[in-house]
A and B are shown apart, each in its own frame.
Chain A
Amino acid sequence: MNNYGYPLTGGLRESILTIDWIIIFLCLELSLMLLVRYKNTPKETRRIQDVGYTILFLAYMLMWIGLIFADFYAADLLTRRLFLTFGYLSLVTGVFIFVLIIEKSFNIWKENIFSILFLVILVLAGINIFVEFDLKLVISITFWPLLAVFLIFYLKGLMGRGYNPHFKGFVVLLIISMVSLFFGFILGSEMILDILGPLSKLIADIFHLASVILLFLFFINLPPFSEFDWRDKIESLFIMDSSGLCLYNKFFKINSENINENLITGSLTTIKLLLEKITYQRSISVFRKKGGSTTIIYPGKYITGVLFCDEDLMSLKVKLFKLVNKIESLYWTIFSNWNGNMEVFTPIKNISARIFLY
């Protein structure tokens, strides 16, 4: 071992090295998995976020390769710094591309603000290579805090758009993974290593490994990213009674001035009755056209909800189901004895706005 503590030697060297390589391969596998997920998704519901995560994990993998060579095989300080610079620069570049992709497809805060900030860090890191050839300071002061802020905003945004009741559980999994990652970096830092020796590196690696395993579980269970864009995919919403009379409608994208909503709901009632007659079933109906344009009809006991949307998303079916059930549970006494007064349905506007977030 040289006087600066590296390369790591001793009885734990082999175990630490083995765990590091396992982390690298799990990252490679995770990135390949996300790329396959992107490739196998139909074009209409494909989201570039999967590619963003692929790049992120590849960058993380490259960082670990840099760290392995720096910690185990660099014979002098200059070589160690060369590998550390390679590793950290790969990570900063990967995170910058990842944030750019996420911000292009997902409104996190102010437009592209995080991409700009990460670009600044990338430039700073580039300058730092020529000035001092040590990225540690740039990484610890600017990169990690900004990444933490970005992740907080991103997770908050994801939770707001999540439709699945289990999704919050997934996010908790992601948060635990991030906490584990944080402890991994702290325990693996040179400062702690100076105090505790290679044992701290072994514990740090176990935290990193746990973090990657949790990320695996998160991504295996994560619904397609298209499900998070449900709000942008709704064209119009109709609530009609059993005779086809329109009780409430909302047009999200088009001007509704010249549209006769009762004509639409009347036609839809005909379709609904036709399908019920053919199949002897009263159930949710989905009509999907080439190109993804979809019509969802959900019949309740007294009313029927209809959504016209651009994609066939599970999140929209769940939301429509919630809306119809909520209206029926509030109005069931009125529906069973309705006198034709339409004003009583004015509050549907508020129920719908709360469920569909407009």
Chain B
Amino acid sequence: MLIPITYREIHIPAMFISIVLGYQLASYFLYLYFKNRDENLGLNRLLLAFSGFFAFLVTAFLFRTLEEHYIGGTLLNEIVNKSMIIFVILSVWSFLLITYTSEFHKIVSSKISKLILISNIIPLVVLVILDTSHYIVQLSMIPNTLGLFYMLFLQLKLLNRSTGNIKRRLGVILLGEVIFGIALVLGGKGVPILLYSPEIQWLFAIILAIFAELIIFIAIYKFPAFLEFEWRENLIKLFILDQKRLSILYSYNFIKNDEIVNNSDEFFNRDRLLTKGIIGIDDIIGSIRGIKTHKLEVIQHGNFLLLLRSGDIEYKSLTFALLIKKEMNSMRYFLTQIKKQFQGFYRDIFAEYELLNGEQVEMFGSFDLILKDLLK
């Protein structure tokens, strides 16, 4: 037989679980920020911004729990209520402040960011003067709500700029935040009761908040460095080689302004050496190890990294080589897209390729347009 379970004994542990998970999220974001700080990537500040956002928001949640279950005195109630609202404001404000950098202004307007950032000081000032129950306090929260939407807008913009794994993870974080937001609204004070009774609605809100925190944690676990957003800046050169004829069918320099790359004869010789070398290296290593079926996928040497992809069966003499600065999933995705597009675009030419002589490689120059499209 079981003794009856009271509502309070479910509600309070659930509230504290949500608070602990929230602080854990804030700490993990902070840990990720410091872990990647050496990479010196401006966008890594987003991790710090998330850390601040969750830390303040969960502190507000903690004050709400204290006010609801442990503090009975009227004067203390008002102080705790005010603290709770201040922490909610600070959560959005800290996020916007930390992301107020030139890196983020490439994504969102710096003027709007500044305006929202300054306007969020209004509710803080109002709270010092007036009681929390005053209607002006509630009206003064409008900039804070706008700030919250602006924060989501910034994340949506980042989502659009990303690819592959990081896009998926950012999407899950955003989804988690939206669920967390719904939970906060459902569990908020003065919100109409939509689910049977206030107790059921509040419990549902807390469970929703815990679920949201769990999915955010899973999404950020081993979060790749924000380098992934700047993958375009890590591209050096693309080569498409014909292994049979030992020739370069197509090449593209991603570092346009680099004088050394564009003007040096040495670099031209280096290209020839590199492309022919790739074929040689693959043959030598294949022979030494007796593995000829599997082609080389990565060559890493010092600061350079060469990602390689072989053409599909009909295009098996083709090798797609991407010279980059750092290995990241976006690069692999990009190279696979290049391979697909190149093979698809020149399908008819490759059907008659044996008949063409090696001098007709200029026709592959038109791949520039497709590549620029892929880079967008």
Contact = CB atoms under 8 A, between A and B. Distances in A.
Interface of A: 7, 14, 17-18, 20-22, 25-26, 28-29, 32-33, 36-37, 40, 69, 72-76, 79, 220, 235, 264, 267-268, 270-271, 274-275, 277-279, 281-291, 293, 295, 308
Interface in B165-219: 210, 214, 217-218
Given A14-B9, A289-B291, A293-B294, A32 B214 contact: yes
A264 B221 contact: no
Scoring B3, B12, B291, B303 by chain A CB atoms within 10 A of each residue's CB, the highest score goes to B3
A212 B97 CA distance: 34
A288 B296 contact: yes
Contact of B297 (A21, A28, A235, A288): A288
B12 A18 contact: yes
Contacts of B146: none
A17 B218 contact: no
A275 B294 contact: no
B115 to A, nearest CB: 39
Given A235-B289, A285-B300, A293-B294, A25 B281 contact: no
Contact of B20 (A25, A32, A72, A76): A25
Scoring A14, A270, A281 by chain B CB atoms within 10 A of each residue's CB, the highest score goes to A14
A286 B299 contact: yes
B21 A29 contact: yes
Given A29-B214, A73-B3, A75-B1, A285 B284 contact: no
Interface in B207-258: 210, 214, 217-218, 221-222
Nearest to A294: B298
Given A285-B301, A291-B291, 8 more contacts: A33-B218, A36-B218, A72-B9, A267-B287, A274-B280, A278-B273, A281-B301, A285-B300
Scoring B9, B210, B299, B300 by chain A CB atoms within 10 A of each residue's CB, the highest score goes to B300
Contact of B301 (A74, A279, A288, A289): A279
A290 B3 contact: no
A80 B13 CA distance: 21
Nearest to B165: A40
A278 B270 contact: yes
B302 A281 contact: yes
Contact of A277 (B14, B273, B303): B273
Interface in B69-107: none
27 contacts: A14-B9, A21-B16, A25-B17, A29-B24, A29-B217, A32-B214, A33-B217, A33-B218, A37-B222, A74-B3, A79-B1, A79-B2, A267-B284, A271-B280, A274-B277, A275-B299, A283-B302, A284-B302, A285-B299, A285-B300, A287-B285, A287-B296, A289-B294, A290-B294, A295-B285, A295-B289, A308-B289
A14 B69 CA distance: 12
B129 interface: no
A220 B13 CA distance: 25
A240 to B, nearest CB: 13
B16 A22 contact: yes
A37 B222 CA distance: 8
B281 A271 contact: yes
B165 to A, nearest CB: 8
Interface string B254-294: 00000000000000001001100100110011011101001
B299 A21 contact: no
Contacts of A14: 8-9, 12
Contact of B210 (A25, A270, A286): A25
A124 B161 CA distance: 59
